């Protein structure tokens, strides 16, 4: 049987999500934030990969300015590239 998360865990998770949202608000333009919101609705896995990448860039100090929509689109394209598997028959 699975147990429900403890109230402390829920509160901590809520705080972490709030901090992430605040960081994204600071480093993304409104258009880029809207684009990520749309991606979250359609493909949560890709959304979380993009957020992780943006947070990594913030922590490593590689961002000089806000990320705009074109840069987010570029990032999403790179993250969503599918790997091709080629099978050779002998």
Spatial distance between the Cα atoms of 64 and 84, rounded to a whole number of angstroms? 34
24: its two tokens:
């994204």
Q: What angle do CA 28, 68, 55 make, to 5 degrees?
A: 40
| Amino acid 81: pLDDT | 79
Q: Evaluate if pTM is beyond 0.95.
A: no
pLDDT in tens, 7-60: 888 888 889 889 989 999 999 999 999 999 999 999 999 999 999 999 999 999
What residue ranges do the domains of the chain occupy?
Answer: 28-76
Kindly tell me if the per-residue pLDDT of 64 is higher than 90.
Answer: no
Contact status, residue 50 vs residue 20, Cβ threshold 8 Å: no
| Amino acid 26: pLDDT | 93
| Amino acid 2: pLDDT | 53
3-state SS class at 67: strand
């Amino acid at each position: 049987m699975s147990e429900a998360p403890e109230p402390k865990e829920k509160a901590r998770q809520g705080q972490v999500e709030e901090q992430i949202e605040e960081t994204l608000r600071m480093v993304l333009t409104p258009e880029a934030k809207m684009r990520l919101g749309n991606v979250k609705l359609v493909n949560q896995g890709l959304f979380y990969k993009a957020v992780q990448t943006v947070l990594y860039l913030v922590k490593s100090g590689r961002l000089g300015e806000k990320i705009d929509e074109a840069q987010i689109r570029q990032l999403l394209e790179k993250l969503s590239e599918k790997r091709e598997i080629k099978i050779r028959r002998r």
